[in-house]
Structure 1
Amino acid sequence: MRRYARTLVAFALATSVVTGTAGWVSTDAQQALTGPPPGSTQWRADRASVGAELPDPERATPAEVAAFFSELSPGERQLLLVRHPSVVGNLDGAPLELRYRANSLALAAADDPRYRSLAAAGRQILAFDPRGRGQVTEVFGDLRAADRVSVLVPGSDNDAGTFDRKTAPHGAPVGMARTLHRAAGPGTAVIAWVGYTTPVGVGLDAATGTLAEAGAGRLTRFAEGLTADGLPEPAVFCHSYGSVVCGLAAPRLAATDLVVLGSPGMRADDVEALRTRARVWAAKDPTDWIDDVPNVRFAGLGHGADPADPAFGARRVPADEARGHAGYFEPGTDSLRAFAAIARGDATESAPDAEAAPAPEGAAR
């Protein structure tokens, strides 16, 4: 009987995913991009550029990378930038100004029409890896001068080729980040982070945690790189499948806040199970199709409890004015106002306009 019940749950999950979305998309399973940046072999073999062994891009911690660059002269930094732009541009812990210049060089050399817009003057590309479907990270605002930093972790169908897409603009990484930065105002910076291999379509990749597990390690290292470079711990906004990534990263993720929106689950039963000192927030609008996906986990399928359920224990983000799965950052919505308050660091317990008192400094949730 128990086996029969579990089979029914798994069948219900798969059926709900199909009927609750635009339809099941048959795609090949995605292979997660892991390991060091492109060009690492040449970097490791370079013994002459600065007269010292270069930090291993795969094994050195972001703190060790930051310490290495702090000892270099401007000329030595420039030499490494020119000789190894693909490594420097993706090396967590390297100075962000150096990474911007390195990725500008890498994009100019890519000569790929998919990435032409990323090479436009004035864009602050903090990471760019053309391998596979491509990964890219962009900064909005003055990251070095910001008092508060936010990172956006998107869900399925995001990669370097779709990073600048114009359809559903406020649901795309660039649109979400730009809108949040405008709403949060001066003293803030927002990073659109497409630094992991996302699922394509609605298939088994989206229903399992394999890609999220690989992404969680990359997100953790990225956040460590920010703080190693002297930047504030970020608030991390996690949309859709991105919230699965954030849930798995939570115990090791250096963050002030974890904000999940349109989440299918975080692979945790409740806030306590996330084992994070960050404040945890959740938003789900009443028209989001994600609500039709059952919050179960069975035989590797599904992502568990709904973070927007009061029983989960997350702080509530109002989202009654948002529309659909991609509408949380639409200008004028209650959800965007709440996100902006979190990004600024002045959100109260439940919502920016709630009567509850602000959370005590250093509170875990």
Structure 2
Amino acid sequence: MRRFTRTLAAVALATTVVAGTAGWASGTTQRAVTGPPPGSASWRADGVLGRELPDPASVTARQVHVFFSGLSTLEQQELLERHPLVVGNLDGVPLELRYRANARALRAFHDSRYASLAAPGRQILAFDPRGRGQVAEVFGDLRSARHVSVVVPGSDIDAGTFDRRGDVYGTPAGMARSLYAETGQGGAVIAWAGYTTPVGVGLDAATGDLAEAGAHRLTRFTAGLAADGLPSPVVFCHSYGSVVCGLAASGLGATDLVVLGSPGMRADDVADLRTGARVWAAKDDSDWIDDVPHVEVAGLGHGPDPTDPEFGARRVPAEDAAGHTGYFAPGTDSLRAFAAIAEGESR
């Protein structure tokens, strides 16, 4: 009976998407930003150090860290000044250099979308202006943090909506800032909007193409954290971000994986994620995501609901999280639970 119900739901989903009814046609198709950081061609051709620089397209995060660790302070500064977008976005570069490189790159752009990101005191760990723009920001002292969390957002997020004033707890900066405030000074939280997200609820949101590209970028990012000697992260994944995290799960090196308002993780159950991380799931009854068929057929849909007991994830209380973007709102049970997970108190 359950298989029959899922089949009917899958047919309904496919019909809805193809026909463009119920709002699915309101999305616009996006082309994922992939490959090495912008400016990599100039980097490869640069002989300023008298030797070949590591190729951003093929070098591992660990190799990047070893390379930069072997440079003098003057050599590091030379590369930062000549190639700020590469240094600021190349996973494995020490975080202090990335902050400085991205601050320099942001000051060079005269674009209103980036004005607030260039403000003094912001710790921008990644800034890629290609496409709609991608950003990662750190809240707290990442170098001394005893525990690190990474927040991965869902649809409609880019450089222009990274920390918008409306719907604050639906933005990566708002979610990360709220979690950091709840956990205190012992840790750090990274708002990671480092992939091309779907816009609206079109085919991009119903398929896994953008999530696959995002998963590759996310695993490289967390590999860079590990190469820099930082603690293994707890990764929080909202909405379509949980599709990204599901595809990336086996390579994240995370201690815990927390999904909220998830349309599915493109996995049949926790075992199918092939991760040693503990997996948690939250969904409020008022979240519209509950109306999305949790199935996958012919590439449409993202599979079972992670809050379904049969999926095998640990359930996070979220009864007072209003709607799809209320999970990180101050005072909610979900935020308190997230903080406990981030601090390792729920082990």
When normalised by structure 2's length, the TM-score is: 0.95
Distance 1:144 1:202 in 2: 38
**Cα deviations by residue, 1:245-266 (Å, 9 ceiling, x for unpaired):** 0000011111111000000000
Distance 2:163 2:203 in 1: 26
Distance 1:192 1:292 in 2: 27
Counterpart amino acid of residue 332 in structure 2: T
Distance 2:11 2:334 in 1: 33
**Cα deviations by residue, 1:159-200 (Å, 9 ceiling, x for unpaired):** 011112111101111100000000011211000000000000
The number of equivalent residue pairs is: 342
- For residue 14 of structure 1, report the CA deviation from its aligned partner: 5.0
Distance 2:288 2:177 in 1: 25
Quote the residue 1:344 is aligned against.
343
Aligned residues of 2:151 and 2:190 also touching (Cα < 8 A): yes
Counterpart amino acid of residue 272 in structure 1: A
Quote the residue 1:46 is aligned against.
46
- For residue 7 of structure 1, report the CA deviation from its aligned partner: 7.7
- For residue 27 of structure 1, report the CA deviation from its aligned partner: 3.6
Aligned residues of 2:329 and 2:335 also touching (Cα < 8 A): yes
Describe how 1:25-44 pairs up with structure 2 within 5 A.
Answer: 25-44=25-44
Q: Establish whether residue 231 from structure 1 lines up as the match of residue 230 from structure 2.
A: yes
- For residue 113 of structure 1, report the CA deviation from its aligned partner: 0.9
- For residue 28 of structure 1, report the CA deviation from its aligned partner: 3.1
Quote the residue 1:209 is aligned against.
208
| Cα distance change, pair 43–297 in 1 and its aligned pair in 2 (3 A) | same
- Identical-residue share of aligned pairs (%): 73
**Cα deviations by residue, 1:311-355 (Å, 9 ceiling, x for unpaired):** 1111111001111000000100000000001111111xxxxxxxx
Describe how 1:1-365 pairs up with structure 2 within 5 A.
Answer: 8-14=8-14, 23-48=23-48, 50-347=49-346, 359=347
- For residue 16 of structure 1, report the CA deviation from its aligned partner: 7.0
Aligned residues of 1:9 and 1:298 also touching (Cα < 8 A): no
Distance 2:40 2:320 in 1: 47
SS in 2 for 1:38: coil
Aligned residues of 1:17 and 1:202 also touching (Cα < 8 A): no
- For residue 8 of structure 1, report the CA deviation from its aligned partner: 4.5
SS in 1 for 2:79: helix
Counterpart amino acid of residue 31 in structure 2: Q
Distance 1:108 1:75 in 2: 22
- For residue 11 of structure 1, report the CA deviation from its aligned partner: 3.9
Aligned residues of 2:10 and 2:293 also touching (Cα < 8 A): no
SS in 2 for 1:89: helix
Aligned residues of 2:194 and 2:214 also touching (Cα < 8 A): yes
Q: RMSD of the alignment, in Å? A: 1.8
Aligned residues of 2:237 and 2:245 also touching (Cα < 8 A): yes
Distance 2:27 2:151 in 1: 26
- For residue 15 of structure 1, report the CA deviation from its aligned partner: 6.7
| Cα distance change, pair 27–17 in 1 and its aligned pair in 2 (3 A) | closer
Distance 2:110 2:91 in 1: 25
Counterpart amino acid of residue 92 in structure 1: D
Aligned residues of 1:129 and 1:136 also touching (Cα < 8 A): yes
Counterpart amino acid of residue 47 in structure 1: G
Distance 1:303 1:60 in 2: 32
Distance 1:219 1:268 in 2: 18
| Cα distance change, pair 233–17 in 1 and its aligned pair in 2 (3 A) | farther
| Cα distance change, pair 284–99 in 1 and its aligned pair in 2 (3 A) | same
SS in 1 for 2:37: coil
- For residue 26 of structure 1, report the CA deviation from its aligned partner: 2.7
Distance 1:330 1:26 in 2: 28
SS in 1 for 2:169: helix
Distance 1:143 1:280 in 2: 24
Counterpart amino acid of residue 26 in structure 1: S
Aligned residues of 2:16 and 2:24 also touching (Cα < 8 A): no
Distance 1:196 1:346 in 2: 30
Aligned residues of 1:238 and 1:259 also touching (Cα < 8 A): yes
